[in-house]
Amino acid sequence: MPTLAEVLFPQSLPNPAALEAQYPPRSLPEGARVTRFAPSPTGFLHLGSLYTAYVNFLTAHSTGGVFFLRIEDTDKKREVAGGVASLLESLAAFGIVPDEGGVAGGAYAPYTQSARREIYQAFAKDLVERGLAYPCFCTEDELTALRDAQETADVPQKGYWGQWARCRDLSAQDAIARVQAGDAWVLRLRADGDAEKRIVFTDEVRGKIEMPENILDTVLLKRDGVPTYHFAHAVDDHLMRTTHVIRSEEWLASVPLHLALMRVCGFRAPKYAHISALMKSEDGAKRKLSKRKDPEAAVSWFSAQGYPADAVLEYLMTLISSAFEDWRRVHPTEPRSAFPFTLKKMSASGALFDAVKLADVSKGVIALVSGADLAQQVRHWAGAHDTALAALLDKHPDRLAQILAIDRDGAKKPRKDIARYGEVLGYVSYFFDELFVPALPLPEGISPADASEILGAYDYDADEDKDAWFARIRALALSLGYAASPKEYKDNPAQWRGHVGAVSSVIRAAITGRSNTPDLWAICRVLGATTVLSRLQKALVSLNT
RNA sequence: GGCCCGGUGGUCAAGCGGUUAAGACUCCGCCCUUUCACGGCGGCAUCACGGGUUCGAGUCCCGUCCGGGUCACCA
């Protein structure tokens, strides 16, 4: 006479003890943490997921531990073809490369849940043998009816539990008969919790938390024999020897269940850290960043906008630890991995995603990149996101590097005026004749006649060094009645028509069509004498007609 | 609805019984400056509310309110 467990799991399965031996505890130095990122292969990387992954990554790597990737593909309906590859690619773009799992493989393989089916079944069978789990034959309709009944009876605790759990007390014979009759079943936990009793655990970011014990007979194995998240989590994180389960706060409510599962399976529970979700403000209300409504929820949005991966990570870091920015000021070029990171310093409240702050952080990141490197990054970005820019850059090789080097390479205070690669085209357009739009924005108090006078009297000499070049402008200013410095003008405004700033602004406008640019002398060098002279000439002509 | 988490300026936040309640972003003003950017200085603006406990409360306790999460054969 076969037992219920044998009827439920007729196939030959490894036994739990053998699995324990096959996946032994890791030999890692004291304090080393093992963390993981466990996404579903939807191919879509959410900003929140990146955030979570990054915290896991930092936790492991700041302790000499292991960060692995596990694919949670237990729901075929959500799976997207090529999802895994695209996910790995997205993560890699942020320098987040798992030590194990993914393409790396590892000693605790397989790292894909769909390939671990018999591992889960082995533990499930063991649970049935010990009377800690049972088959449930309730149909979807019956479950809905149960829900409705609880609704009308106004039962505070909804769900499949206690007296509501109809299959819980089915005799083994009846259960066996139904299985043999071909009835579909799911496997449920026979919860032993008491709603009146409370469990206490310490969350690594939130501290001590007290909750009622789990009383729900949660589904462990679905109709198709595939585990639910909860059961897979218990089995996998135990067997893969995860020390710290760091995940989004939506899982916090499941901790009593997870702890109960760990206990009945005989596993030592990992430490848990629930980090708060990234929020978005809308009409004064706070809500979770949504994949549907918010383009910035997708990490791909940031790449498309041209935010360097480093900038996004740097921004996330400011959310991870409020001490980060202070540290960064002291260590402007240190890798982020050198930052003393702890889960405990993470905020327990959900942060609003702040695009303005990201832009500021990004400017700081881009300011540290050399002109040549930046040019290369921009070209790379343009190849994927802005073909017109890419074509332009290819037509003028090296030009962009020269432009971006201005006030940047070797500058003690490099310019911080580019937040995204996507802004670069607008930033540099006047360097290219095909994009240059002649315009003459005049400074306050300067009339077209004044401008005409200035341009008419100005001679550009391409051979002059910067000091000589500016000395000439100063002399010109003086000769036309403009103070040679703003200070002199302020000391006695009545005596002057203005100051050098007005003169150079007119020249700047004629050459670039703009009122704000980096160092004009350097710009002229990049442009070349022919172009400079020609633009100066045209501006003068336009003023006189 | 039950359970759970959270609530300090517009945003991110420090704070662990006694502080003029840090700092950063944004915005505004000033300084520096040939423009802009950078940098410097200054300013606007915060402890959700009500009760306790205490000589003293952002900090501890209780209640309320607000926001979020969860209660799936999704993760």
- pLDDT digits 0-9 by tens, A66-100: 999 999 999 888 888 888 999 999 999 999 999 99
- What's the rounded mean pLDDT across residues A470-475? 95
Instruction: Give residues with Cβ within 8 angstroms of A407, minimum separation 6.
Output: A414, A415, A518, A519, A522
So what's the pLDDT on residue A110?
96
CA of A68 to C1' of B73 (A): 28
Residue nearest to nucleotide B1 (CA to C1'): A156
- What's the rounded mean pLDDT across residues A427-447? 93
Checking if the pLDDT of A254 tops 90, the result is yes
d(Cα A472, Cα A470) in Å, to the nearest integer? 5
Residue A209: CB less than 7 A from any atom in strand B: yes
CA of A276 to C1' of B52 (A): 32
Checking if the pLDDT of A286 tops 80, the result is no
For strand B, the positions having any atom within 7 A of a protein Cβ are 1-8, 10-14, 22-26, 31-39, 67-75
- What's the rounded mean pLDDT across residues A216-230? 97
Checking if the pLDDT of A283 tops 80, the result is no
Q: Look at phi and psi of residue A422 and say left if phi exceeds 0, alpha if psi is from -120 to 50, else beta.
A: alpha
Nucleotide nearest to A209 (CA to C1'): B4
- Which residue is associated with the tokens 């031996």? A21
User: Is A413 in a helix, a strand, or coil?
Assistant: coil
Residue nearest to nucleotide B75 (CA to C1'): A229
What b/e readout covers A309-335, taking b as 16+ CB neighbours within 10 angstroms? bbbbbbbbbbbbbeebeebbeeeeeee
Q: Which of residues 494-533 of A touch strand B (CB under 7 A)?
A: 499-501, 504-505, 508, 515-521
Checking if the pLDDT of A362 tops 70, the result is yes
So what's the pLDDT on residue A457?
95
CA of A473 to C1' of B35 (A): 14
Neighbours of A401 (CB within 10 A): 19
So what's the pLDDT on residue A291?
81
Residue A475: CB less than 7 A from any atom in strand B: no
So what's the pLDDT on residue A350?
87
So what's the pLDDT on residue A407?
95
Residue A452: CB less than 7 A from any atom in strand B: no
Checking if the pLDDT of A285 tops 70, the result is no
| C-alpha angle A364-A369-A374 in degrees, rounded to nearest 5 | 115
CA of A487 to C1' of B30 (A): 15
So what's the pLDDT on residue A78?
83
Q: What is the mean pLDDT of chain A?
A: 94
CA of A396 to C1' of B38 (A): 29
d(Cα A491, Cα A459) in Å, to the nearest integer? 29
Q: Which of residues 332-361 of A touch strand B (CB under 7 A)?
A: 345, 347-352, 354, 356-357, 360
Helices (H) and strands (E) counted in chain A, each on its own, are: 23, 14
Q: Which domains does chain A have, with CATH numbers?
A: 4-11+117-275 (3.40.50.620), 290-367 (1.10.1160), 371-422 (no CATH), 448-543 (1.10.10)
So what's the pLDDT on residue A284?
64
Residue A49: CB less than 7 A from any atom in strand B: no
Q: Which residue, A340, A445, A351, is CA-closest to A51?
A: A351
- pLDDT digits 0-9 by tens, A294-322: 888 899 999 999 999 999 999 999 999 99
Neighbours of A91 (CB within 10 A): 23
d(Cα A514, Cα A201) in Å, to the nearest integer? 62
So what's the pLDDT on residue A102?
77
- What's the rounded mean pLDDT across residues A257-276? 97
Checking if the pLDDT of A115 tops 90, the result is yes
Cis peptide before A110 (omega within 30 of 0): yes
Give the global pTM. Answer: 0.94
Q: How confident is the model at residue A116 (pLDDT cuts 50, 70, 90)?
A: very high
> Lowest-confidence range among A2-11, A16-25, A77-86, A401-410?
A77-86
Q: Provide the percentage of residues in chain A whose pLDDT is more than 90.
A: 85
Checking if the pLDDT of A118 tops 90, the result is yes
Neighbours of A1 (CB within 10 A): 5
d(Cα A53, Cα A90) in Å, to the nearest integer? 12
User: Is A246 in a helix, a strand, or coil?
Assistant: strand
